Amino acid sequence: MTEVDVEQIYKAYEEINNASDNTPEIKRSYEILIAGAHGSSNCKRLAAQFIPRFFGKFPEYYETALDALFDLCEDTDINVRLTVIKYMPNVVKEFDKFAVRIADALVQLLENETVQEIAAVKKALEQVLRLDPETIPAIFNQSLKGSPEVRQRTINFLSNDLNRIKMELSQRNSDWESKFSDEVKKALHDANATDYEMFIKMLLSLKMYEKKENLKALSESMVDAIAKENEQLDPSNESSFQKFMLCGKTLIQFFEKGISTTPILAFLVKKMLPQNIYCNLQAKQQKSVLRYLVEFIIRSPNETTLKEAAPLIKDIFVKEVPEPPSDNNEEDPKLDLNKVENIVYAIYTIASKVPAITEGQEMNSRLRHLYTFAMKCQTRVKLGLKDLQKTQNKDQQTIEKIKKAENVQTVTQNIFTMTKELMKPAVARHFTKVVISWRTSPQTTTSPPTLTSSTTGVKRPNTEGSTSNPNKKQKSAQTNTTSQASQIRQKITAPKVTKSVRTGQANKRTGEANKRTGGSGGNRNNGVRLAKIARNKNNEKNLYVPPPRRGT
């Protein structure tokens, strides 16, 4: 057809708009609109508006009309491109069969550089999704096979712009969230670390994952995405390691809701703990792996997985902790205490279910060596910490040293406690609660399962009645202790004055405290060993009275 002008396009528009039937004359009018896509700039802008508006009335021109619109998308005039982008969703409104093709074309237009076009495309994509939520697979497919710019901008659209209409799309189509989730899970497999993180955020923003059963399926999909079958992990591939870190960090939130740790622990055991992989990791990466190992095994995973992990963790322990010197050399071994604490904690936890993890001469000698080393460290750190705390004017550097010393004190105390128990025969072990140094929050305190007397052969301590029914000797000791404390207090405060009401109250509190503890100063609470320090501090605070002023 020959080139048309603006007046012809307006006339053709009026004829089609007022017509009731598709007569041959009306069809020729639609041909004029299509021809306008190859006219002047103004004709092209009018064609971009009018072709989509009447698209559904002329089935025989579907392909021709779409080709004309796609030509306009490639026009050199930005105003023409902006116009056709704005009105292309009307094609879907007229005939939703072409929704996928329109969405596909719009995603490709994200490659354009101008900010106005990118914003227009995103708005058009929102309109297409509102008209037909089923187009979400087309958006994903095109983004995955497109250029890096298209991929990144599409992921940006899906993670940010789509949030505005998620609720609306879910209301229109009850299966929309499920289909969207399926597409994101597919994209996880080929995602780099940055995209992987964004995809995870997209998934967790869906309401369907408020249900525990859906979270379980999601955790398995996340692990599958990083665990490629028959493919060994490359320690030098930073992206693969980052994906594992992101996966582990996300799944820890799921574990708090009761989701099993078995899939991710199995991945860690097979892909991270073997010597040829672990030894080639950077020191920082090794620490991260060991920390996640602790996070995963303390949540009672599958016993079969623990048995698979036991020999690998044992090998790591033998590598990290040197054998004691044969010439009685007292030189301390060079250890990364934080790494060793995590390794020993893992062994301590697994030993409750797999006692054989500590068997062997190389384990026994190293445990004894580590036990002795931890005991020496505690003594030195305690003295150093005492000197630091005596400093009158503590500057920032001193405060940092105190914090560091306190952390070392906690680490060495944990190592000492655990190695002491692990050196015992399996039937004589009593696994007490140990809080690993970097888990400071009380809510995250965990402990390995305590073995029962039927499995260990050790009689449980009798906690019933031991603190509530003191014998005659204990009652006598309480009375003597109370009277002595009262006499001492009276002597300090007012030697010539009789016992005051305040002193009587203090003595009464002391007596009640002794009754609660059975008068024996016991340090057990329901079978769990507790430190005496907390109780003594309270008593010291209650009994302390300032000395009398001079001249009184």
Give backbone dihedrals phi and psi of 526, rounded to 5 degrees, phi first: 55, 40
- Provide the pLDDT for residue 329: 64
Amino acid at 283: A
Pairwise CA distance, residues 76 & 83, whole Å: 13
Q: With both helix axes pointing from N to C terminus, report the angle between 41-53 and 62-73 in degrees, rounded to the nearest 10.
A: 140
Three-state SS letters, 8-66: HHHHHHHHHHHCCCCCHHHHHHHHHHHHHHHCCHHHHHHHHHHHHHCHHHCHHHHHHHH
CB atoms within 10 A of CB 457: 11
Give the distance from CA 287 to its chain's centroid: 16
| 396, two tokens | 């920032």
457 conformational bin, left if phi > 0, alpha if psi -120 to 50, beta if neither: left
Secondary structure class of 114 (helix, strand, coil): coil
- Torsion angle, CA of 366/369/371/376, rounded to 10 degrees? -150
> How big is the chain, counted in residues?
552
Alpha-carbon radius of gyration of the chain: 37
Pairwise CA distance, residues 447 & 359, whole Å: 22
- Provide the pLDDT for residue 464: 38
DSSP-assigned beta bridge partners for residue 525: 528
Q: Which pTM does this prediction carry?
A: 0.68
Tokens 């809701």, located at residue: 257
- Provide the pLDDT for residue 85: 95
In eight-state DSSP terms, residue 165 is T
Secondary structure class of 336 (helix, strand, coil): coil
Pairwise CA distance, residues 264 & 293, whole Å: 10
Nearest to 77 by CA among 111, 55, 48: 48
Nearest to 161 by CA among 205, 217, 97: 205
The answer to whether 236 touches 282, Cβ cutoff 8 Å, is no
The answer to whether 402 touches 394, Cβ cutoff 8 Å, is yes
Amino acid at 104: D
Through-space distance between the first and last CA atoms of the chain, rounded to whole angstroms: 119
Pairwise CA distance, residues 283 & 162, whole Å: 40
Half-sphere exposure of 65 (CA within 13 A, CB side): 30
- Provide the pLDDT for residue 327: 66
pLDDT along the chain (552 residues), means of 10: 84 91 89 93 94 92 94 93 95 90 92 92 93 87 82 89 86 86 90 90 90 89 79 78 91 86 90 91 92 87 86 93 76 85 94 89 91 90 85 81 88 93 90 84 37 33 39 43 43 40 42 43 40 34 42 46
Pairwise CA distance, residues 52 & 47, whole Å: 8
Amino acid at 427: V
